[in-house]
Chain A
Amino acid sequence: MILPKQDKYDVTIIGGGWAGQALARQLHRRMPKLQILVLDGSRSFGWKVGEATVDLCAHYLIQRLGLSTYLYRNHLPKNGLRFFFNDEKASRPLPEVSEVGSTFLPPTPTFQLNRQRFDSDLRQMNVDAGIECLLGIVCQNVKLGENGEPHAIYCRDDESQDRWFQTRWLVDASGRRRFLGRKLGLHSEDNVRRHCAVWGRFKGTADMDALGDDAWRKRVSYTARFLSTVHFAGWGYWIWFIPLSDNLMSVGVVSSKEMVEQPPIKKEEFLAFVRNHCAAKQVLGNGELVDFMAYPQLAYRCHTLYSADRWAATGFAGMFQDPYWSLGGDTISLGNDYITDLVEKDLIERVPRQLIKTVAAQYNSSMQRFYDRTKVWMDGAYASMGSFNLFSIRYVYELCIYYLDYVWSFMCKEHLAEKSAERTRLADHFFELEIMLRDQIEEAVVAALKNGLYYADNASGSFAGVANFVSPFIFQIGQAGLWSWRFEMMLKIWLFIYLKITETKLGFRSLAEREVVQDILTLPRILELHPIGPKDQDWLMSELSKTIASRLEAEFGVRPSLAVSADHLAGDRIVLRNLSSKATSPELSAKMQARCDELWSRKRSYDQLPNQMQQLFRAFRNRGPMIGPPAPSKTGYQGEKLAAGPG
């Protein structure tokens, strides 16, 4: 092969989509003297998928890339996640269905990205900054250098000319093409969610905020619902509506292939599916489809993302989990931070290769843990996707942990710091708790389908806001030095949500908030009895009886006869019996009953729970370290299709 041109770069990025362009911009801002090359195989900017962003990604775009002004001028601000449920046939119209979402624009910014504009604007900014961005150059082969020698990349341009480049660092940002991944065998589909997706952009959809009456608009403090990533959620699927600038609406359907009988994958199936959903059809209105795409299998893993041999992968070329929670942008943000740090340590600080190896291993491990933890979330989410009762409380848990753990950590750059043994141990214990919660959710879904609570509140016009859950901490987000406090909050919210899921599993509605229940179902107890279920109900009722009786005895000197029953658990009052046979006066009986009522009705929100960390440490100390990655989700739902989706 005769090669006409040869150039040498410090970092070459294969792929000019947002992951690759963002990395180029970040590297250039951080290390202005670096010679950077971005190679993209195409010349035009089509519609890429991945429009919604969440807070970690938005922080990356604003703080690392300095794009705040640009984003507000060219893209829409996002009003958080919003979920609408429906009956089993998806037959109810929008204002009637139950909803989960925010009542104010979240204090931390996020955006809905118009990808056609975003990718091409990023590229233009890079070109203006003097970064070499070549279009129409397809990479065909790479020869990775050994012993610190540069890599050689062999390409062909769109005039069929062969070109090759030398580079010290090579970053694969080639999207689902996965250029390096295919060459090095980096990817696998072991233990991933099996989901497919179809989507397209529409022009002229209906005005969502005008579809209900004034009372319906007032429910969200008149804030724009349409700015949210709207999810029409059902059994094993959800339909997204993401607003874009230029009067466009992105609409997509994500389906679990294990739960949805005929998941839509073709254009006609896509349109039929959305139109079959009463509320989604209303929002679609007379929208005209502008473009269409489908992926039959979304998720895959990558065993090595960063190498001391001076290569890395970012964006889709690395790993992908799921569109739910819009974590693609977060994955790019974390990954680009890791790659930038490795390049800086290697080329600028010139740390020894052994140290690069250690740091790369730490970053690889962090991304694997990120994938594993978010997979556990996906398991719980898709299991409960069609149920307002179960999903809303689970979503609140995710939102709080997302802020307290992932976003806060990213803002404080904890992910780039050396991990202490102590915090690693606590983080491992928390991961075990998350797996337990996932398992409890899956069991609760099966129970709720039987006891009726699964669909019970889907079309009752109920509303679950998130404000009360995030208000204890949201305005401190990003403050350094609060790791222990944050971890305590995470444990408390975990505990509270586990109890809420458990109450639904048992068929009750308000046990978790009751102080006297919280005093019995402590963290060590839960670890002992998990998964808490009908097998524990008799014990729980007996413990409640003993606890209340003891407290009344301590105060009044008389021990009442008390047997908490299932009816009591479902109700607001525990009636004390046989007080007169204990030779108590009517006044005393009345006082004791009043006190009993007060004890039963006393409630505590999660942030008022006592501190948990010591309990956690002690309880886990005897269980030993967690071994290996978490087991896949137990329930496959193949046999549990008690209620199908629409159509």
Chain B
Amino acid sequence: MSEDGAQQLEQLLESTRRILGHDDVTPESSLEAIGIDSLNIVELMIAYDLIYPGITNPDEVRFSGHTTMLEMHTQLYRLSNKENSA
């Protein structure tokens, strides 16, 4: 993982902890397990928007309850860099 990629993953984990109000968020945590639901997902989406700038189409971000934080990061990072390098 590149250096700025590692930094963004850390920011992702940090803001997720802040929004959910608990510390139990690791790269291996699944969205379901840490308590993401249809209400707090929007605050998280806005936070991710700020960490991974330039993703023009939020519908491209695909996840389910089983998606892990690391998988989320990989997707967001790829989409963000794809836009920026295009």
Interface contact B43-A614, CB-CB below 8 Å: no
Known: A488-B39, A611-B39; 7 extra A-B contacts, CB below 8 A, are: A421-B47, A426-B46, A614-B42, A614-B45, A616-B42, A617-B45, A621-B58
- Expressed in whole angstroms, the Cα–Cα distance for A425 and B45 within the complex equals 11
- Expressed in whole angstroms, the Cα–Cα distance for A476 and B19 within the complex equals 22
- Expressed in whole angstroms, the Cα–Cα distance for A617 and B43 within the complex equals 9
Q: Which residue of A lies closest to B46 (CB)?
A: A422
- Expressed in whole angstroms, the Cα–Cα distance for A614 and B43 within the complex equals 10
Majority DSSP secondary structure for residues of A touching B: helix
| Selected contact of A425 from candidates B18, B21, B46, CB within 8 Å | B46
Residue numbers of A with Cβ under 8 A of B are 420-423, 425-426, 481, 484-485, 488, 611, 613-614, 616-618, 621
Chain B contact residue count (CB 8 A cutoff): 17
Interface contact B39-A617, CB-CB below 8 Å: no
Interface contact B40-A484, CB-CB below 8 Å: yes
* Per-position binary interface string of chain B over residues 28-41, scored 1 when its CB falls under 8 Å from any chain A CB and 0 otherwise: 00000000001111
Interface contact A613-B19, CB-CB below 8 Å: no
Interface contact B42-A420, CB-CB below 8 Å: no
Interface contact A420-B18, CB-CB below 8 Å: yes
- Expressed in whole angstroms, the Cα–Cα distance for A141 and B8 within the complex equals 55
Using Cβ atoms and an 8 Å threshold, which residues of chain B touch A422?
Answer: 19, 42-44, 46-47
Using Cβ atoms and an 8 Å threshold, which residues of chain A touch B46?
Answer: 421-422, 425-426, 617
Q: Which residue of A lies closest to B55 (CB)?
A: A621
Q: Which residue of A lies closest to B43 (CB)?
A: A422
B50 interface contact, C-beta 8 A: yes
Interface contact B19-A611, CB-CB below 8 Å: no
Interface centre among B38, B43, B59 (most CB of A within 10 A): B43
Interface contact B58-A420, CB-CB below 8 Å: no
Q: Least Cβ distance of B71 to chain A in Å?
A: 20
- Expressed in whole angstroms, the Cα–Cα distance for A155 and B27 within the complex equals 65
- Expressed in whole angstroms, the Cα–Cα distance for A425 and B49 within the complex equals 11
Interface contact B42-A613, CB-CB below 8 Å: yes
Using Cβ atoms and an 8 Å threshold, which residues of chain A touch B58?
Answer: 617-618, 621
Using Cβ atoms and an 8 Å threshold, which residues of chain A touch B42?
Answer: 422, 426, 484, 613-614, 616-617
Interface contact A611-B38, CB-CB below 8 Å: yes
- Expressed in whole angstroms, the Cα–Cα distance for A421 and B40 within the complex equals 14
What 7 A-B pairs are tightest by C-beta distance, nearest first? A484-B39, A422-B43, A422-B46, A613-B42, A617-B42, A425-B46, A422-B47
Interface centre among B41, B45, B46, B58 (most CB of A within 10 A): B46
| Selected contact of B19 from candidates A420, A425, A481, A614, CB within 8 Å | A420
Q: Least Cβ distance of B42 to chain A in Å?
A: 4
Interface contact B39-A613, CB-CB below 8 Å: yes
